[in-house]
C-alpha cells in the first residue's frame, strides 16, 4: 500500500512553516519566523509576514523533500489554538492547495501536534508532556481516551512571560533566547514569587516583581528599584529561569506521579532552553523515569508536526473546503483522539 504524503502548514503565531511527512518519515521541515528588534509580536505584521513567505517556504520544503507538489496525497493545517490573523493565512493556503491538487484537507490541533511529534521523534510511548511555548503552558497526558491537561498556566504562557520581560528590558522579540544568554552569565539568586497553585502555575506576580526590580539603570548598567536596591541584569535573568522552570518541573513531576507514568517529554519553543532541559533530565533521573526531548527543529513551531498529526487524523479530512475554519481557542482536551 502506498504511503501517504502529507504537506503540513503551521501558522499559529510568529512562525510560518511547511513540513512534509511520508508514512512515518519526515522529508522536509522548512520555516520562516517573524522577528522584531523592539517590542513584541504584532498579529497584523505577523500575518503580512506569513503571506509574503508562504510560497517560498513551500518551495523550500518541496526541494528538501525531493518531491513534486503533485506527489502529495493530503494537506494538513494548524487549525488552532493561535492568533486569528495568523491562523487565517494557514487556512487559506491549505484551502488553495486542496482545491488546486484536489486533495482532502484536515485541520489539526497545534498543542496535540507537539505531543505527537515527540512520540514520533523519540522512543517515548506514553509520556507526560511538558508543553512550554509562547502562548501555551500545559502539562498533558493521555488518560481515558483523550489528552487531558493536568496543569496549566492561570494567566500567560511561559514564553509570553519571557517575551514581556525581555520587552521591558528592550531586548526585542523573541526574548527567550536573549534571556537565556544573559542568565548563563548570572550566578546570584534573587528571590522571586514562586506561584504553584495546586497543579497550575502563574507568572504575572513574578513579572510584576521583576519589573519593580528594574525601574531604571544606574551609571554602571545595573538595574535599580524604587528603594535604590541594585541588580545585575544577568542575575535577574538567572533568577527568573531558576524560579519559573522549577515551577514547571514541580507540576510535571506531580502529573507523572498522579498518572503513574515513567516518561517525560518536552515540547514547545521554550523547551529549547538548555537550563529547562537540564532540570527536566535531573528530575527524571531522580525518579528513575525516562526523559525525552526532540531536536530543536521539532520543539519550535514547525510544519512537520502538523503534517504528522494530519496523517494520524486523516479520517477527519474533507474536500468540503468551505466548511473548514480556524479554532483560535481550541483546547488540547477538546480534541477527538481517534488514532490511539
Q: For 266-318, write each residue's pLDDT tens digit.
A: 999 999 999 999 999 999 999 999 999 999 999 999 999 999 999 999 999 99
Cα separation, 284 vs 279, in Å, equals: 9
User: What is the second-level CATH architecture of the domain 123-293?
Assistant: 2-Layer Sandwich (3.30)
Strands 146-152 and 5-10: what pairing? Answer: unpaired
**For 109-126, what is the HEC assignment?**
EHHHHHHHHHHHHCCCCC
Answer yes or no: same fold for 5-109+301-334 and 123-293: yes
For the chain, percent of residues with pLDDT exceeding 90: 91
Residues 295 and 152: beta-carbon distance below 8 Å: no
Which pLDDT score is estimated for 39? 67
Residue 164 parent element (H or E)? helix 158-169
Q: What is the mean pLDDT of residues 62-87?
A: 98
pLDDT digits (tens, 9 = 90+) for 138-169: 999 999 889 999 999 999 999 999 999 999 99
Under DSSP, the state recorded for 38 is S
- Write down the domain spans for the chain: 5-109+301-334, 123-293
- pTM metric for this prediction: 0.94
**Which residues lie below 8 Å from residue 251, measured CB to CB, with a gap of 6+?**
139, 150, 151, 196, 199, 200, 201
Mean pLDDT computed over every residue of the chain: 96
Q: Enumerate the H helices of 35-108 as residue ranges.
A: 43-65, 84-101
Which pLDDT score is estimated for 219? 83
Q: What is the mean pLDDT of residues 97-119?
A: 97
Cα separation, 340 vs 337, in Å, equals: 7
Residues 308 and 82: beta-carbon distance below 8 Å: no
User: What is the residue-wise DSSP string for 247-297?
Assistant: HHHHHHHHHHHHHT--EEEEESGGGG-HHHHHHHHHHHHHHT-EEE---HH
pLDDT digits (tens, 9 = 90+) for 4-28: 999 999 999 999 999 999 999 999 9
Which pLDDT score is estimated for 226? 86
Taking the domain 5-109+301-334, which CATH number applies?
A: 3.30.420.40
Amino acid at each position: 500500500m502506498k504511503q501517504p504524503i502529507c504537506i503540513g502548514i503551521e501558522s499559529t503565531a510568529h512562525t510560518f512553516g511547511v513540513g512534509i511527512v511520508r508514512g512515518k518519515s519526515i522529508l522536509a521541515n522548512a520555516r520562516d519566523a517573524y522577528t522584531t528588534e523592539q517590542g513584541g509580536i504584532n498579529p497584523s505584521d505577523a500575518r503580512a509576514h506569513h503571506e509574503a513567505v508562504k510560497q517560498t517556504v513551500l518551495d523550500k520544503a518541496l526541494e528538501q523533500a525531493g518531491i513534486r507538489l503533485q506527489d502529495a496525497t493530503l494537506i494538513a493545517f494548524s487549525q488552532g489554538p493561535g492568533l486569528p490573523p495568523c491562523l487565517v493565512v494557514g487556512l487559506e493556503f491549505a484551502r488553495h492547495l486542496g482545491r488546486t491538487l484536489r486533495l482532502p484537507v484536515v485541520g489539526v490541533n497545534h498543542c496535540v501536534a507537539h505531543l505527537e511529534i515527540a512520540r514520533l521523534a523519540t522512543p517515548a510511548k506514553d509520556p507526560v508532556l511538558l508543553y512550554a511555548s509562547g502562548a501555551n503552558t500545559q502539562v498533558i497526558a493521555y488518560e481515558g481516551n483523550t489528552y487531558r491537561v493536568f496543569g496549566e498556566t492561570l494567566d500567560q504562557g511561559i514564553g509570553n512571560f519571557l517575551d514581556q520581560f525581555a520587552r521591558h528590558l528592550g531586548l526585542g522579540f523573541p526574548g527567550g533566547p536573549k534571556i537565556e544568554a544573559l542568565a548563563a552569565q548570572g550566578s546570584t539568586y534573587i528571590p522571586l514569587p514562586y506561584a504553584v497553585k495546586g497543579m497550575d502555575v502563574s507568572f504575572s506576580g513574578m513579572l510584576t516583581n521583576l519589573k519593580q526590580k528594574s525601574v531604571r539603570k544606574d551609571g554602571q548598567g545595573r538595574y535599580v528599584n524604587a528603594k535604590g536596591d541594585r541588580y545585575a541584569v544577568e542575575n535577574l535573568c538567572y533568577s527568573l529561569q531558576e524560579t519559573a522552570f522549577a515551577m514547571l518541573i514541580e507540576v510535571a513531576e506531580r502529573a507523572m506521579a498522579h498518572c503513574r507514568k515513567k516518561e517525560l517529554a518536552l515540547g514547545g519553543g521554550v523547551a529549547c532552553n538548555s537550563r529547562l532541559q537540564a532540570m527536566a533530565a535531573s528530575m527524571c533521573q531522580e525518579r528513575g523515569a525516562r526523559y525525552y526531548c526532540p531536536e530543536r527543529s521539532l520543539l519550535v513551531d514547525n510544519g512537520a508536526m502538523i503534517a504528522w498529526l494530519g496523517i494520524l487524523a486523516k479520517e477527519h479530512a474533507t474536500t468540503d473546503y468551505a466548511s473548514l475554519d480556524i479554532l483560535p481557542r481550541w483546547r488540547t482536551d477538546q480534541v477527538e483522539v481517534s488514532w490511539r
